[in-house]
């Protein structure tokens, strides 16, 4: 019977231990020695953020098409080549004998990934479920808490569309009430945000949904303060952390929340179709799983992973992505993303007809920002940037504001951002050609 060890031995793969980069990639030109040198590069996060030599080595981990400029990493990020190769190897291994290699050898190794994710963000492994994305994680919570007709759910007008759709379906089906309210754009007073949430609470309020980082602007909201306020009313707060985890540095344990949801294929650079759900131990039994699980799993975080037959390779490759994140360093990645944002945002904000819908003050946003050229239709601007310059951005046409969402990543170069700056400056001065 073939074993995983013999299979990986043939491929020359070595296991990646937490905190140390030991995988030998075939497409990443950085050697193990260079990787260790990168990890030990001296300098503050802010100094490293401006060290283009450091980031050149990181950029080589990605096999991106450099004829294009991808500024929509907030949607989904490319996966580093060595992470993708690890996933492919496990797919090949599982395919040799799926019922044994997949179920008996690969699937149990998910526990190691669970433990590493929990360790990285300072929670208990028995509180971490591995899911396919933020939407799945959030819908487990949105559909899993019991609500009765007339019960109210509170959220902002800027929360993610799929999550709004989920609650609106419960409105139609069960008669719950979804209450949405506006927040400032940008928002630079955390106490005001807490007050706005609290003003919506009535004796029928049973749940609050909030973003850690709003996807359309990059705005960071004061999760801990809102959670503390809501706990005084005994109201659970569902946290949409799709854009925060592995983007800016924090520990889930620092937020004081009972749950946290995220996608790992955005800022952690894990394969597409990987996410995480954190649920505090004493809350697990209160939440029904999205797909049925046995009653014996009532208190078990793994009940949220019941999705039927599935490939395990995607989930195991999370470990390679996490090691890559640790190699870069969370604070250094955060500083780099802020540096890249400031590079283009400060250049464009000096133009008279350019408006930023995102704060540049420290702590209120990080790598994602939203920019508008006044008098220019946002979707037309997006199409012109793509058609004329092969620059990919996201048009946001919200009832309260409009602008392009711009989200560079660790592999983005300064030259690519300069292409974006030049194109936007030209439009700001001349408009879009007829």
Residues 278 and 391 in one domain: no
The better pLDDT of the pair 9, 248 is held by 248
Q: Is 411 inside any structural domain?
A: yes
Q: Which residues contact 130 (CB under 8 A, 6 or more apart)?
A: 110, 113, 114, 117, 274, 275, 276, 277, 305, 315, 318
Per-residue pLDDT for 7 more than 50? no
Residues 167 and 240 in one domain: yes
Residues 341 and 317 in one domain: no
Residues 260 and 363 in one domain: no
Q: Is 62 inside any structural domain?
A: no
Helices vs strands, H then E, count in the chain: 17, 13
Confidence of residue 28 (pLDDT cuts 50, 70, 90): low
Q: Is 26 inside any structural domain?
A: no
Confidence of residue 34 (pLDDT cuts 50, 70, 90): low
Average pLDDT rounded to a whole number, residues 361-377:
98
CATH number for position 373: 3.90.1150.10
Predicted confidence (pLDDT) per residue in 192-249, tens digit: 999 999 999 999 999 999 999 999 999 999 999 999 999 999 999 999 999 999 999 9
Q: Tell me how many domains the chain contains.
A: 2
CATH number for position 279: 3.40.640.10
Residues 242 and 341 in one domain: no
Q: What pLDDT does 147 receive?
A: 98
Residues 293 and 182 in one domain: yes
- As beta bridge partners, residue 252 has none
Predicted confidence (pLDDT) per residue in 242-257, tens digit: 999 999 999 999 999 9
Confidence of residue 40 (pLDDT cuts 50, 70, 90): confident
Domain ranges, residue 386: 331-429
| Mean of per-residue pLDDT scores for the chain | 92
Indicate the length of the chain as a whole number: 434
Two tokens at 164?
Answer: 């709004």
Average pLDDT rounded to a whole number, residues 358-367:
98
Average pLDDT rounded to a whole number, residues 373-394:
98
End position of a domain, from candidates 294, 321, 348: 321
Residues 311 and 343 in one domain: no
Q: What pLDDT does 316 receive?
A: 98
Closest CA to 370 of 186, 120, 118: 186
Residues 207 and 144 in one domain: yes
pLDDT above 90: percentage of residues in the chain: 90
Q: Is 245 inside any structural domain?
A: yes
Cα gap 430→427, rounded to integer Å: 5
End position of a domain, from candidates 321, 349, 375: 321
Q: Is 205 inside any structural domain?
A: yes
Cα gap 286→236, rounded to integer Å: 11
Residues 200 and 139 in one domain: yes
Per-residue pLDDT for 15 more than 80? no
CA-CA-CA-CA torsion sign (409, 412, 418, 421): negative
Cα gap 185→182, rounded to integer Å: 9
- Predicted structure pTM score: 0.91
Per-residue pLDDT for 98 more than 60? yes
Q: Is 307 inside any structural domain?
A: yes
Q: Is 22 inside any structural domain?
A: no
Average pLDDT rounded to a whole number, residues 404-421:
98
Residues 173 and 268 in one domain: yes
Residues 277 and 375 in one domain: no
Q: Is 39 exposed, middle or buried (0-12, 13-18, 19+ CB in 10 A)?
A: middle
Residues 373 and 274 in one domain: no
């Amino acid at each position: 019977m073939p074993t995983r060890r013999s299979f990986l031995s043939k491929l020359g793969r070595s296991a990646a231990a937490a905190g140390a980069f030991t995988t030998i990639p075939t497409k990443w030109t950085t050697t193990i020695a260079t990787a260790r040198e990168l990890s030990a590069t001296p300098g503050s996060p802010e100094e490293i953020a401006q060290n283009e030599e450091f980031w050149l080595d990181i950029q080589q981990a990605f096999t991106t098409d450099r004829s294009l400029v991808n500024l929509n990493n907030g949607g989904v990020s490319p996966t580093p080549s060595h992470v993708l190769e690890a996933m492919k190897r496990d797919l090949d291994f599982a395919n040799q004998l799926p019922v044994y290699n997949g179920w008996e050898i690969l699937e149990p190794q998910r526990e190691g990934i669970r433990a590493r994710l929990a360790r990285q963000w300072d929670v208990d492994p028995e509180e971490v479920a591995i899911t396919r994305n933020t939407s799945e994680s959030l819908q487990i919570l949105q559909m899993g808490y019991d609500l009765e007709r007339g019960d109210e759910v509170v959220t902002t007008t800027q929360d993610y569309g799929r999550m709004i759709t989920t609650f609106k379906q419960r409105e139609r089906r069960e008669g719950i009430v979804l209450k949405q309210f506006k927040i400032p754009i940008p928002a630079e007073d955390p106490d005001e945000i807490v007050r706005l949430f609290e003003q919506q609470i009535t004796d029928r309020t049973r749940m609050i949904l909030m973003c850690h980082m709003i996807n359309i602007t990059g705005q960071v909201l004061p999760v801990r303060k809102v959670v503390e306020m809501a706990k005084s009313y005994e109201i659970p707060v569902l946290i949409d952390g799709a854009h925060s985890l592995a983007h800016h540095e924090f520990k889930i344990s620092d937020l004081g929340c009972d749950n946290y949801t995220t996608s790992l294929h955005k800022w952690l650079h894990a394969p597409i179709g990987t996410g995480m759900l954190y649920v505090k131990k004493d809350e697990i039994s209160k939440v029904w799983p999205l797909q049925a699980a046995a009653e014996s799993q009532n208190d078990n975080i793994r009940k949220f992973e019941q999705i039927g037959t599935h490939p395990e390779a995607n989930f195991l490759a999370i470990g390679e992505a996490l090691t890559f994140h640790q190699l870069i360093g969370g604070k250094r990645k955060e500083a780099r993303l802020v540096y890249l944002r400031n590079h283009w945002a400060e250049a464009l904000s000096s133009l008279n007809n350019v408006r930023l819908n995102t704060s540049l003050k420290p702590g209120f946003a990080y790598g994602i920002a939203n920019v508008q050229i006044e008098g220019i239709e946002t979707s037309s601007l997006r199409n012109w940037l793509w058609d004329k310059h092969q620059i990919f951005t996201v048009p946001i046409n919200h009832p309260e504001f409009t602008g392009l969402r711009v989200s560079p990543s660790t592999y983005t170069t300064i030259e690519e951002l300069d292409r974006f700056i030049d194109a936007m400056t030209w439009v700001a001065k001349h408009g879009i050609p007829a």
